[in-house]
Structure formats: C-alpha cells, structure tokens
Amino acid sequence: MYKNKNFSAYLLLVFAFTSLQAFSQNFTKQDSLRGSITPERVWWDLTHYHLDITVDPNEKTIAGSNTIQYKVVKKGQKTLQVDLQPPLQMTKAIQNGKELDIVHDGNAHFIHLKEKQKLGKIYSVQVFYEGKPKVARRPPWDGGITWKKDANGLPFVASSCQGLGASVWWPCKDHMYDEVDSMKISVNVPKNLMNVSNGRLIKVEEKENETKTYHWNVVNPINNYGVNINIGDYVHFGEKYKGENGELDMDYYVLRDNLDKAKEQFKDATRTMEAFEHWFGPYPFYEDSYKLVEAPYLGMEHQSSVTYGNGYRNGYRGSDLSRTGWGMKFDFIIVHESGHEWFANNITNIDIADMWIHESFTAYSENLFLDYFYGKKASAEYVIGTRRSIANDRPIIGQYDVNHEGSGDMYYKGANMLHTIRQLIADDAKWRSILRGLNKDFYHQTVNTQQIENYISEKSGIDFSAVFDQYLRTTDIPELRYKKDGNTFAFRWKNSAATFDMPVRVAINGEFEWIAPTTNWQTKKMKNIVSTVELDPNFYVTLKEGK
C-alpha cells in the first residue's frame, strides 16, 4: 500500500512536470504589461470614456482622442498606464489644460500626471493619437481594422479586436478587470457613409468639410473589446420586442443592397431573444437597445451592437457544425453572438485565461436555442454532434496575467461539460434557475472561474469541483471501465484524478440506471446475466471493457 501510494505520487509529479512543459510558453514583459493588473493600472477606476475620432477610409487612418475619466481608488500614485498598439502613435496627453510627459514602452504608455491625485476624486485625461492601425488579417480572430468595399464600390470598414485587444485601434486601459461605467463614441466619416457603434445614436452632426459625425451613447458598463465601429452605406429597419423587462428596441443596420435578404434572415433575432430570455433571464442592456449590424467579416459579440457577416444563410457559413441537421435550423452568427450578450458582455471574465466563461456557455446556448424551439432531443443531438470538433490538445483554462487564452476546446468541450452537468443536476427547472441566477447575481460584473464554479455547486447542492477540474484543467476525458462476469457488473473511473467520483447513467441489458463509480472497482449483482452495457450519450465520457 505504502509503496503504491508513493508510486502514484511520483506519477502525479511526472505528469505535472510534463504537462507544465507541454503547456508553457514563453511570455514577454509586454505580455505581462498587457495581461496583469499593474501598479500603474490598479490605483484608478474607470468611470467614463469619450472616444472622439475621424476615420478616413481612403487614407486608411484614424485620428482623434479618448477622454479617460477615472476615480482615484488608491492614493500616492501619479503614473497612469494607457495602452495603444503601434503603428498607431500616442501623440499627446492633457490634464486640466496642461500637457503631460509620456514614457512609451511598446504597447504600454506611462503618462506622468502633474497634479496630486486625491483619493475618491474624479479626474480626466485626454489622450490624443493618430496613424494607420493594424489591418485585420483574419478577422475576427486576428483582428484590427478591416477596410473593404461593398458591391457598389463604397467603403465598408469595421473594427474587431477580441484577444488582440481594443488598444489595436484606440487608447484605453486594455485589461478586462476594469469595465468603464459608460461611454460616448463619436465617429467622423465621409458624408455618404454612416457609422454604427454601441448603445444609442444620440446625434448626427453635418460638418462643412463633406463629413458627418455620428455620436453614440452607451449607458451600461462595457468591456473594451465590445466597443466597435462599423462604417458603410447602411440602411436601417427595426422592431419593438416585448421582452421580460418591457419593450426592447431591436434595430438592424445592413448594406443597402441586402435589405430584402436581411428582413427575412433577421427574423432569427427575435427568436433568439425569446429563447435566451427564457433560459438566461432578461436581455442585460435594454437601455442601450439591441442591434444587429452587418460587418465585412464573420461576426462578433460587440455589446448591444452584434456584428453579422454570415452571408444571410443558416448554419455556420452555410454548414452544420454538429452534422445532425439541427445546425441548419438557425443562423449560427445571430444565435451565438447574441448569446454572448449574457455570457461575455453581462458576465465578463476578469482574465482572458477564463474565457471559457464566455465561450463554453455561449456554445452551449446554441443547443438551448434548439431546446426552446425543437425540444430536448434536438438539443441533445446537436451538442453531442459538436463533439467532433473537440481536440483535447491543451486545457481550456489558459495562463493567468499574461493575456493568454486556453484551448479552442472552450467552445464545444465546454458546452459538453455543461450538458453533462445538466444531466447530473437532473432537474431542468433548477438548471434553468441557475443559468438565470448567474446572470442576475453577476449582473454587469467581471468574474473569475472560481466564482462561476462555486455558484453552480452551491446552487445545485452538488460539489462539481472535481468535474470542473477534469474538464477545464486537464485534457483527459474520463473513461468508464467495466467488467462483466455472469450476473456481476464491475466498474470504475480511469483517466481521471484519483478523487474523481462523478455519477453516470448506464444501460445494463438495455435498462438505464445511475451508478456512482470512483477510481476503485465496485461491483453490482444484477438479476440476469450481464450481456450489454451502454453509456447514456449525454455524458461526455468514454466507455471501455477491461481492467
């Protein structure tokens, strides 16, 4: 016994060491400046941004300023870190009429304030910038600014910056932990074009130089990557939706030539709203309205301004990610990106290492949409079908404090973990109340993975910590091993942590029942000779006969 115990401890050490080697990367000082809450960030809390810019589609330039308003939450500090990525240049910073010194360090810019910063007081600093921003290579994944032309040869321009960071196109405190409380976005464009950003359009100013400025106002907290510009020859249509919190304005902005197609395809927007208000609770940004805005790339969850580029067809670019047929029943981009209004925009991860909070729940929301309109069988078939894209290459949770995302398995492995948890709770009304509760209790908050894990365990009354550890922090899928010998059925977990003890449903001789395996063998006497053993496919585990 003693020897065995030491041996497994040794194996664990070897495993921990090799997995660290396999998963670690080299991170730079710039990664830490970007990904951690530095001393030059922690002492001030964002209250308001006014981003005021001119976008020139011919020159492919952006120029303007961001007025950053903040409250001092720690005294004795006088240096602010503001982020802006080259080739854009931060040219000037002003506080109360006085120009400030700036020390530039790559993407981070340290602004030295002259005035004493009094605790609890609100100050603002206006930061000026200009240049040719990074061109998006593969938006939305490798983002920046997309400069395209529509079918009529008019400019069609948009920002996308998740992961890469909003500082790729505007100066800001580029870390998820601090969401600004409200924001104004003023964008000057050639007068034959329109800019659509977040929140509500409050004013359009006609300028003498053949341009117009569109002023948008956001009254709810917003994360940096949710802020966006979309510039094109847009036409507008809209509707009022009677939702859980009253009348919701749903507005659609599409390229002039696509109006008829959009009026048909965007019927999925109110369907999505209906399904997700049912499962997750009220849409979290009634005051800012809901918009669907055509963009020159696939799509992104920009807050209250979901961007759309799925080609006006169902599925994901016209194909079914689950290969079950159910994926063709809805427009993937409308459903998925709108799902993020609850998980990403309402509940936001503090560190991008915990991005599963955005993607696992939202990938999971696709099957809840199906559940609402087509029933439980359809939804289960869909989420099980998406397992084909799981890679189990590295853990879902990334490395903290260095702006590092975990594996792309945060989408469908995460969705299948949540589907498995739904089985374990075995009470859909309770599961729904947990999903709605998350959106109520973490309303407009930035959270970490532990808060989400604890919430689900606490509200369900089931300790899911071993389940979360297994699926989020390792690449191993639990394997149910079994042996049959006459009337005896023996079973245990393999390929899991020693403490893993998740119950599971199996059909022995065709009859489903719950069993509670641990990593030690247990036996069960059956009435008849054990001939067939099947797994309930709703559990994301594998089954194998043998030792």
Using CB under 5 A as the binding criterion, the count of chain residues that bind Zn ion stands at: 1
| Pairwise CA distance, residues 466 & 303, whole Å | 33
Which region among 162-170, 304-312, 354-362, 466-474 touches Zn ion (by CB under 5 A)? 354-362
Build a one-symbol-per-residue string for 356-375: x at contacts with Zn ion by CB under 5 A, - elsewhere. Answer: ------x-------------
| Pairwise CA distance, residues 207 & 56, whole Å | 14
Build a one-symbol-per-residue string for 312-351: x at contacts with Zn ion by CB under 5 A, - elsewhere. Answer: ----------------------------------------
Nearer to Zn ion, 95 or 362 (CB): 362
DSSP letters, 494-545, are: ESS-TT----EEEEETTEEEEE---SS-EEEE-SS----EEE-TTS--EEEE
Nearer to Zn ion, 231 or 357 (CB): 357
Build a one-symbol-per-residue string for 202-241: x at contacts with Zn ion by CB under 5 A, - elsewhere. Answer: ----------------------------------------
Residue type at 288? D
The nearest distance, CB 162 to Zn ion, in angstroms, is 9
Nearer to Zn ion, 174 or 405 (CB): 405
Which region among 57-65, 355-363, 517-525, 531-539 touches Zn ion (by CB under 5 A)? 355-363
The nearest distance, CB 297 to Zn ion, in angstroms, is 14
User: Which of 336, 319, 339 lies closest to 385, judged by CA?
Assistant: 319
Nearer to Zn ion, 303 or 362 (CB): 362
The nearest distance, CB 39 to Zn ion, in angstroms, is 33
Nearer to Zn ion, 105 or 142 (CB): 142
The nearest distance, CB 411 to Zn ion, in angstroms, is 7
Omega prior to 171 cis, within 30 of 0: no
The nearest distance, CB 198 to Zn ion, in angstroms, is 17
Q: Which helix (H) or strand (E) holds 428?
A: helix 428-441
The nearest distance, CB 339 to Zn ion, in angstroms, is 8
Give the largest CA-CA distance in the chain: 90
204 CB neighbour count, 10 Å cutoff: 11
The nearest distance, CB 344 to Zn ion, in angstroms, is 7
349 CB neighbour count, 10 Å cutoff: 22
CA distances from 146 to 89, 125, 213, 513 (A): 19, 29, 20, 54
The nearest distance, CB 181 to Zn ion, in angstroms, is 25
Burial of 312 (0-12, 13-18, 19+ CB in 10 A): middle
| Pairwise CA distance, residues 536 & 72, whole Å | 55
Question: Which residues between 427 and 466 bind Zn ion (CB under 5 A)?
Answer: none
Burial of 470 (0-12, 13-18, 19+ CB in 10 A): buried
Which residue sits closest to Zn ion, CB atoms considered? Answer: 362
Which residues contribute to the site for Zn ion (CB under 5 A)? 362
